[in-house]
Amino acid sequence: QVQLVESGGGLVQPGGSLRLSCLVSTLTFSNYGMGWFRQAPGKEREFVAASNWFGDSTYVGNSVKGRFTISRDRAKKTLYLQMNNLEPEDTAVYYCAASRTPGVFSLKRNYDYWGQGTQVTVSS
């Protein structure tokens, strides 16, 4: 079983930065695909960014490209999402996800495990 625990959310002004973390707790090491999604009130959960387990292959969604960066520290079993130049439209609950299948995925159906989410609010 895999448990994902997100942290780092909060309130930030437009133009500010936040770094989200996702701690992966698992008894079995495996080559998991990892990703970040977000869901704003009244909207569908949407893809933000994804990475393979080794961190050498990543993919960032068009809506955040150039502002958000995904990375991981395998030794710490932690996935990160660095968010810069935040906009009010980035306000959402951000979820970490893991896939038992190795690779980089942008579709929700490819992920097997989800965290509880962390709230990010961008407002002045």
pLDDT digits (tens, 9 = 90+) for 24-75: 987 565 688 999 999 999 999 999 999 998 888 999 999 999 999 999 988 8
Whole-angstrom Cα distance, residue 53 to residue 58?
Answer: 10
Query: Residues 6 or more apart from 81 whose CB is under 8 A from it?
Result: 19, 20, 22, 36, 48, 49, 68, 69, 70, 94
- The residue-averaged pLDDT of 113-121 equals 97
* Dist CA 12 CA 119 (whole Å): 11
pLDDT at 92: 98
